[in-house]
A and B are shown apart, each in its own frame.
Chain A
Amino acid sequence: MASITLQNLVKKFGETVTAVAGVDLDVSDGEFMVVVGPSGCGKTTTLNMISGFEEPTSGSIMIGERVVTHLEPGDRGLGMVFQDLALFPHMTVFENIAFGMRVDKTADAEVKERVSKVATTMKISHLLSKKPAQCSGGEAQRVALARTIVTEPQVLLMDEPLSSLDAKLRIEMRTELKRLHEELKSTFLYVTHDQAEAMTMADRIMVMESGYVQQIDTPLGIYRKPTNQFVGTFFGQPTMNVVSGRIDNGGAPRFVSEYFELSIEPDAVPASATGKAINLGVRSENVTIGNEGAAGEVKLIEPLGDETLVFFSSGDEEFLVAKVDAEREFGPGDKIHFAFQSSAIHFFDAESGVRLE
């Protein structure tokens, strides 16, 4: 069991490419931490520095009480599951799982015992004599996990381990990974570009963009209080509505955009948001469609089953989406009125994208 501490971790490739631009992170013992961000934001590079495949340009890495910044990967007491699984194709599943013990020259009897035990937990006992190529995607995934956890690592690193699976299996494996985390109680550091994966699995999430940490918080914290417009729009499906405009504070505060005006409850508006260009963000579930508010016209309907997404426009250019009860029926061309729930509105600085509070 161990924590992970990253201090001002930087990785540059050559003079020009800064893959990771100073990451500070504390993952506490037994935590399920998810690193998420768009492709190319430096997630893999961060993970590779923790695992020891990349030498950091500067900064330090601690696992537990030990500084491991310059140790060999095998001496850091961690396990890793790779994106393409990296099972040894020439070995049987048994030998794949046993590899870590074989290189330690563990006695044969113990190897057998531990492999069969982990194979039972991962439900792959029937595969032990097969080659990795003979396993299905989900089975190979379990083998890769078994190979890693059989060495009882204090820290488990995973780089998009589910990306090679189909959608249904991916969702099943999410649950399985969470169950595994409950069982092992070791520290998980999990990398993904999929915000839904991050939301469902994480104790805490670190959001990265262009090598910079954007926010570190619990899934709900990030969803409710994104520190900037990037984080706000990155999480949630459908993407958060963002409208540029400004707050008109003459009497009751009103949000004024090019195409519509809406009044907002006074205590929902932060002082710093008045009197300058802002971007207003509101999620689809916080957009109400009714008799009051600004006028709009329905363009498209997307039923989700229990709820319905209503895509509508205000004026000719401003497109918005609302999530409404499935019972309420709309059709393209319907004239509607819409408003925002004041307490759920996010205000972002139009220039820097920073959250205004």
Chain B
Amino acid sequence: MAQATIKERKSLSAWLSQEKVFRLIPFIMVEATFLLLLAIPFMLTIYISLLKWRANRPFEQAYFHGLLNYVRVLTTEDFWWALGRTFYFAGTAVFFELVIGFLLAMLAYKQFRGRRIYITIFLIPMMVVPVVGGYNFSMIYIDSGPLNQILAPITEAMGVNPRIRWLSHPIAAQWAIIIADVWQWTSLTFLIFLSGFTALPQQLTNAARVLGASRWQIFWKVHLPLLKPAIMIAVIIRSMEALKLFDLSVLLTFGGPGTSTETIAFFLWRQVWQFNKYSFGAAASIILLFIFGALIFYGIYLLVRERSIVEEESMR
């Protein structure tokens, strides 16, 4: 008996010391992680989305409901409003992040005194924890707060009430969230564009100059096309992230006033945790998964295509 276990152990250690085991180990870990982290919750979500289950009733009483939850989601007007609003927020915020980040990078990529300090300062917002950033903005936006005080000379000159209700006026609140997002994430686009500008070969600029191109022509005909990959990367990374906008809505306005700042992520959270509509929430998240999944795959496709073009061009 004792001998048998020893023998067994021996053969186990022999098996483990085989070369092929090492090739299996990463594979097993990847598979296990995939199963645990992705497949199981995903299956569970699909399962729940097919039930009629509310948290105020015990789970045993839940019963199959077919695709009714999906129909409900697709016919809920608020779902579509929240989705549209999310695209509006993401689109506007990413637009400003790209433009401002690009302009800042354009100013900062040339050598000048104190360049490093400026670059470091421009990168700080990105490093602030989002919750802290949101909290800071909630104080800045108070009706009698610093932002309105700074703006007062302008607003008064324009004949507008200087007490702008940043967080309780529907349109002002939307802009409040967009501005906070732009503040935080312009750093990232700045960084991407800065590395893009720095990587521009000086000799190409020189070649264009000798051929008589003006600064403006060099920018449009040489620099901008070469920066296209960086622009694509910035657009895709930021869009993917901005579509998930959640924390700022929660911290600044809690979706209000009304539902004017309710993003799709916030909508989902509210359906599940405020209204306890678990099955509804599950169905909505599956639908979103498909919509965003399609967008992300399209984005990745564009990125990969852009990269292969870049590689082909730099190949020599």
* A is bound by B: yes
What residues make up the interface of A, taking CB atoms closer than 8 Å to B?
A: 51-53, 72-75, 78-80, 82-84, 86-90, 99-100, 102-104, 131-133, 137, 140, 147, 151
> Nearest chain-B residue to A72 (Cβ)?
B209
* Any A CB within 8 A of the CB of B58: no
Please judge, given known A-B contacts A82-B203, A133-B312, A133-B316, whether A90 and B211 are in contact too, CB under 8 Å. Answer: no
Known contacts A133-B315, A133-B316; is A86 also within 8 Å of B209 by CB? no
Q: Nearest 8 A-B pairs (CB), nearest first?
A: A74-B212, A100-B211, A86-B207, A86-B203, A89-B313, A103-B213, A73-B209, A90-B225
- Is B21's beta carbon under 8 Å from chain A? no
**B225 adjacent to A73 (CB under 8 Å):** no
- Give A140 to B316 CA distance when docked, in angstroms: 10
Q: What's the minimum C-beta distance from B285 to chain A, rounded to whole angstroms?
A: 41
Of all chain A residues, the one with the shortest Cβ separation from B310 is A89
The answer to whether B313 touches A131, judged by C-beta atoms less than 8 angstroms apart, is: yes
User: Closest residue to B217 on the A side, CB-wise?
Assistant: A103
The distance in angstroms between the C-alpha atoms of A52 and B222, with both chains bound, is: 19
| Neighbouring B residues of A72 by C-beta, 8 Å | 209
Q: Which chain B residues in 64-117 approach chain A with CB under 8 Å?
A: none
Give the complex CA separation of A151 and B212 in angstroms. Answer: 10
Q: How large is the interface on B (under 10, 10 to 19, 20 to 34, 35 or more residues)?
A: 20 to 34
Query: Is B221 part of the contact surface with A, judged by Cβ < 8 Å?
Result: yes
Q: Is the CB of A84 within 8 A of B203?
A: yes
Residues in A neighbouring B208, C-beta threshold 8 A: 88, 99, 103
* B206 within 8 A of partner (CB): yes
Interface centre among B210, B221, B312 (most CB of A within 10 A): B210
Q: Which residues of B contact A104 (CB under 8 A)?
A: 212
Query: B residues 289-316 with Cβ under 8 Å of A?
Result: 312-316
Chain A, Cβ-Cβ closest to B213: A103
Cβ-neighbour of A82 out of B206, B212, B217, B314 (below 8 A): B206
* Cβ distance B13 to chain A, nearest Cβ, rounded Å: 54
List CB contacts (< 8 Å) of B248-275 with chain A. Answer: none
- Measured CB to CB, the nearest residue on chain B to A164 is B316
Residues from chain B with Cβ under 8 Å of A131 in the complex: 312-313
What is the distance, in angstroms, from B110's C-beta to the closest C-beta of chain A?
15
Q: How far is the CB of A1 from chain B (nearest CB, A)?
A: 18
A-B contacts at CB below 8 angstroms, number: 73
* A133, B314: Cα distance in complex, Å: 7
Q: Are B211 and A89 in contact (CB under 8 A)?
A: no
18 A–B contacts, CB within 8 A, in A order: A52-B209, A52-B210, A53-B206, A72-B209, A74-B210, A74-B214, A80-B207, A82-B207, A84-B201, A87-B207, A89-B226, A89-B313, A90-B313, A100-B212, A103-B208, A103-B213, A133-B312, A133-B315
B204 interface residue (CB < 8 Å to A): yes
A102 — which chain B residues lie within 8 A by C-beta?
221
Contact A88 B209, beta carbon cutoff 8 Å: no
Query: Nearest-CB distance from A83 to chain B (Å)?
Result: 8
Partner of B206, one of A86, A87, A99, A133: A86
A243 to chain B, nearest CB (A): 45
Given contacts A86-B203, A90-B225, contact A78 B315 (CB under 8 A): no
Please name all residues of chain A whose beta carbon is closer than 8 Å to the beta carbon of B210 when the two chains form the complex.
51-52, 73-74, 78-80
From A78, A80, A83, residue with most partner B Cβ within 10 Å: A80
Asked if A88 and B222 sit within 8 Å, CB to CB, the answer is yes
Complex CA–CA separation, A53 to B203 (angstroms): 10
Chain B hits for A51, CB < 8 A: 206, 210
User: In the assembled complex, which residues on chain B have CB atoms less than 8 Å from the CB atom of A53?
Assistant: 206, 209
The answer to whether B213 and A86 touch across the interface, beta carbons within 8 angstroms, is no
Q: Contacts A89-B313, A90-B313 known; A103 to B209 CB distance under 8 Å?
A: no
Contacts A89-B226, A133-B312, A133-B313 known; A74 to B211 CB distance under 8 Å?
Answer: yes
Within the assembled complex, what's the spacing in Å between the Cα atoms of A90 and B223? 10
Kindly list chain A residues whose C-beta atoms are within 8 Å of the C-beta of B206: 51, 53, 73, 80, 82, 86
State the CA gap A78–B211 with chains docked (Å): 8
Would you give the shortest CB distance from B221 to chain A, in whole angstroms? 7
What residues of A have a CB within 8 angstroms of the CB of B201 in the complex? 84, 86
Residues of B within 8 A of A99 (CB): 208, 211, 213, 221
Q: Which residues of B contact A90 (CB under 8 A)?
A: 225-226, 228, 313
Q: Is there an interface contact between A103 and B212, defined as CB atoms closer than 8 Å?
A: yes
A157 → B minimal CB distance (Å): 8
Interface of chain B residues 189 through 211 with chain A (CB within 8 A): 201, 203-204, 206-211
Closest B residue to A95 using CB positions: B221
A residues in contact with B316, CB < 8 Å: 133, 137, 140
Kindly state the separation between the CA atoms of A52 and B210 in the bound complex, as whole angstroms: 8
Contact A103–B221 (Cβ < 8 Å): yes
By beta carbon, the residue of chain B nearest A78 is B210
Task: Known contacts A80-B207, A82-B203; decide if A89 and B212 are in contact (CB<8 Å).
Answer: no
Give the CA-CA distance A103 to B218 in the complex, in Å. Answer: 9
Besides the known contacts A74-B214, A83-B203, A100-B212, 11 further A-B residue pairs in the complex with CB atoms under 8 A apart: A52-B209, A79-B210, A86-B207, A88-B208, A99-B221, A103-B208, A103-B212, A103-B213, A103-B221, A131-B312, A133-B316
Chain A residues in 8 Å Cβ range of B214: 74, 103
Residues of A within 8 A of B225 (CB): 90
- Residues of B158-215 contacting chain A, CB below 8 A: 201, 203-204, 206-214
Which chain A residues lie closer than 8 Å to B211 at the CB level? Answer: 74, 99-100, 103, 147, 151
Residues of B within 8 A of A83 (CB): 203
Closest chain A CB from B196 CB (angstroms): 14
B227 to chain A, nearest CB (A): 10
Most chain A CB inside 10 Å of its own CB: which residue of B206, B222, B225, B314: B206
Smallest CB separation, A96 vs chain B (Å): 9
Residue of B nearest to A84 (CB): B203
Report the Cα distance A53→B204, complex, angstroms. 12
Interfacial residues of chain B within 206-246, with CB under 8 A of chain A in the complex: 206-214, 217, 221-222, 225-226, 228
User: For residue A75, which residues in chain B have a CB less than 8 angstroms away from its CB?
Assistant: 212
* Nearest-CB residue, chain A, relative to B207: A86
